[in-house]
Amino acid sequence: MLRFGYWCLFLVLGTFVSSSPPALAQSALSDTCTGAQATPVADRKRFALIVTNQDYPKSVGRLEATHRDGEILCQALSQVGFDVRHVRDVNLQQFRREVLEYVRRLHGAGDQGVGFFYFSGHGAVAEKGGDNYLIPVKADVKFAHELRLLGYRLGEIVNAISDTGGKANFIVIDACRTLAIPSPTRGTRGLTPVNEEGGVFLAFSTAPGQVALDKHHFSEALAREIQIADRPAYVAFRSVRRRVLKDTNHSQFPWMRDGLVNAFYFKQETGTPNYTVAGPAPKIAQGKPIFKDKNCDVCPEMMVLNAPAGDGATNGGPNRSAAFAIALREVTFEEWGRCVADGACRGYRPDDAGWGRGKRPVINVSWRDAQSYVAWLSEKSGRRYRLPSEAEWEFAARGDADTTYFFGNDPRQLCSYANGGDFNHFTGIPCSDDKKFGTN
């Protein structure tokens, strides 16, 4: 927690499943990552379905890289404990059958299931702003409007998978290659964005209105990031974005929607703390643990506070009943500059209004700017940094005191401690410094 003064769709859906996979019709070339050494996971509740289509008719356009994309992801997902099924070059009937059996597995997993669905191939829209369709092989699509009959509507897949519930749902669609078929509207490319779904992480391989390269930039980045231990899923996908941007000279921008309710880690290693104690605490923090992430040189020193159960903001803010950590100092211009120099923080350089920069607290930043900074810190550290809630900020500002204010309970002393005007004509509380509003 910090303080501050044609469209392309890539989706991922993960769900744990405990039931054994039903037998599938062997109508499409498939495998289960032969040769991959899967990492054991309790109860084997991780299942993945990878579909890669490549052998398209001339009317659609043959691809070259999709099967290899699937092999790269198949190996990586096996390494982090997924039971993976990879099918290649499926027609519409086979595609529907594979998704049906996959959804049945997810339903069998219950509320602890995690599933990962990945498609690499062609995708398109039948009309501008309309539904997205994944294109099976043997679909001899001549015109975009024929997708309604020959394609597999992505919304059906998303709805079927999201209805399974589970601990986490990931859907990944890498389906934004350049198509040979005419666009529904001149200048329209790729897929249409999909609405955020609760409990589902959706990811696009490139931004709306853009086309993904028929290469392995995205699959290789994703395979690498999900195998890094103790990294939340949303941080892993943001790292994928940065890597793809770098590898494609900023021509391909992965886009995502995070609808996960709970934190999810593809790989976790226990018993290895990710922080070190920073040394003697200042007087105000005696007895409170202070730490700095040992693997993150740009991260701040943090103090652990433990608000008592039921403690909340005086204006009805959220209660706190668990420990949280807050930065010892405000974010400085110097720290903000490191974020900008690293290509993050939207490249924004706030004005100091003549106060000076360096180690002075950064000013002239919006809530959106602050969110970009904490997202950068989260990506650099693999931990989730965020802004404090109103209740957390109030509790920290009280200096760990159990009184209403850090100086006690008497509101008449507010003017002696607060750097602001006397509003006693609104509250009816006399000001103890005997000064009127608007005077020095």
Higher pLDDT, 425 or 251: 251
Do 221 and 254 belong together in one domain? yes
Residues 241 and 283 in one domain: no
In this prediction, residue 429 carries a pLDDT of 53
Domain boundaries, position 391: 275-396
| Nearest-angstrom CA–CA distance, 158 and 153 | 9
286 and 218 within one domain: no
Percent of the chain whose predicted confidence (pLDDT) is above 70? 66
Of 266 and 275, the structure prediction assigns the larger pLDDT to: 266
6 part of a folded domain: no
Whether pLDDT at 60 is above 50: yes
Residues 302-345: tens digit of each pLDDT: 887 766 554 444 444 444 446 778 888 889 999 999 999 988 99
* 361 and 307 within one domain: yes
Q: Domain check: are 250 and 189 in the same one?
A: yes
Whether 22 maps to a domain, the answer reads no
Higher pLDDT, 29 or 311: 29
372 contact partners, CB below 8 Å, separation of at least 6: 339, 344, 345, 346, 348
Residue 388 sits at the vertex; the CA angle it makes with 287 and 269, to the nearest 5 degrees, is 70
CA-nearest of 138, 120, 8 to 65 is 120
* Strand runs labelled E in 342-429: none
The residue among 185 and 433 whose pLDDT is bigger is: 433
Please indicate, yes or no, if residue 314 is contained in any of the structural domains: yes
256: three-class secondary structure by DSSP: strand
Question: Over the range 137-161, which residues count as b (16 or more CB within 10 Å of their CB) and which as e?
Answer: bbbebeebebbeebbbebeebbebb
Arithmetic mean of pLDDT, 122-129: 78
Residue 20 lies in a domain: no
199-238 pLDDT tens trace = 889 898 876 556 666 678 899 999 999 998 888 888 889 8
Residues 6+ apart with CB under 8 A from 254: 10, 203, 204, 205, 206, 207, 218, 237, 240, 241, 244, 245
Read off the pLDDT of residues 126-155 as tens digits, 9 standing for 90 and up.
777 678 889 999 888 888 788 889 989 988
pLDDT at position 440: 47
Instruction: Please tell me whether the overall predicted TM-score, pTM, comes out greater than 0.75 for this model.
Output: no
CATH assignment of the domain containing 246: 3.40.50.1460
The answer, yes or no, to whether residue 105 has pLDDT greater than 90, is yes
Phi, psi values for residue 42, rounded to 5°: -55, 130
Q: Where residue 434 falls among pLDDT bands split at 50, 70, 90?
A: low
Instruction: Assess whether 291 and 244 both reside in one domain.
Output: no
The residue among 259 and 89 whose pLDDT is bigger is 89
Q: Are residues 247 and 282 in the same domain?
A: no
Residue 15 included in any domain: no
Co-location of 250 and 305 in the same domain: no
Q: Is residue 80 part of a domain?
A: yes
Same domain, yes or no: 84 and 187: yes
**Burial (CB count within 10 angstroms: exposed 0-12, middle 13-18, buried 19+), residue 276:** exposed
End-of-domain residue from the set 258, 287, 307: 258
**Rounded-to-integer distance, Cα 364 and Cα 235, Å:** 27
Bridge partners, residue 176, by sequence: none
Residue 129 φ/ψ region, left for φ over 0, alpha for ψ in the -120 to 50 degree band, beta for the rest = left
pLDDT tens figures, 151-168: 899 889 989 998 998 889
pLDDT of amino acid 89: 95
Q: Which domain-ending residue is among 231, 258, 285?
A: 258
Q: What is the pLDDT of residue 313?
A: 40
Nearest to 113 by CA among 222, 259, 264, 269: 264
Per the domain annotation, does 432 fall within a domain?
Answer: yes
Residues 320 and 188 in one domain: no
At 67 the pLDDT is 92
Residues 130 and 216 reside in one and the same domain: yes
How many structural domains comprise the chain? 3
Determine the distance from the C-alpha atom of residue 294 to the mean position of all C-alpha atoms in its chain, rounded to a whole number. Answer: 23
- Backbone phi and psi for residue 257, each to the nearest 5 degrees, phi listed first: -130, 120
Is it the case that residue 173 has pLDDT exceeding 90? no
pLDDT tier for residue 4 given thresholds of 50, 70 and 90: very low
Question: In whole numbers, what is the pLDDT of the chain averaged over residues?
Answer: 75
Which residue would you say has higher pLDDT here, 301 or 188? Answer: 301
Most confident of 60-69, 120-129, 402-411, 413-422: 60-69
**Between these two residues, 406 and 350, which has the higher pLDDT value?**
350
- Within a domain: 2: no
Residue 223's nearest CA partner among 41, 47, 77 is: 77
pLDDT of residue 181: 62
Phi first, then psi: what are they for 370, rounded to 5°? -60, -40
* Three-class SS state of 240: helix
Q: Classify each residue of 66-89 as buried b or exposed e, where b means 16 or more C-beta atoms within 10 Å of its C-beta.
A: bbbbbbbbbbbbbbbbbbbbbbbb
In the chain, the N- to C-terminal Cα span, in Å, equals: 35
- Cα separation, 131 vs 139, in Å, equals 17
pLDDT band at 276 (very low <50, low <70, confident <90, very high): very low
53 — pLDDT class (breaks 50, 70, 90): very high
Are 286 and 229 contained in the same domain? no
> Distance between CA atoms of 42 and 178, rounded to whole angstroms?
41
Q: What is the mean pLDDT of residues 350-358?
A: 85
Query: Do 379 and 366 touch, CB atoms closer than 8 A?
Result: no
User: In degrees rounded to 5, what are phi and psi of residue 89?
Assistant: 50, 65
What is the full DSSP assignment across 109-177? HGGG-EEEEEEES-EEESSTT--EEEPPTT----SGGGHHHHSEEHHHHHHHHHTT--SEEEEEEE--P
Residue 120: the pLDDT is: 92
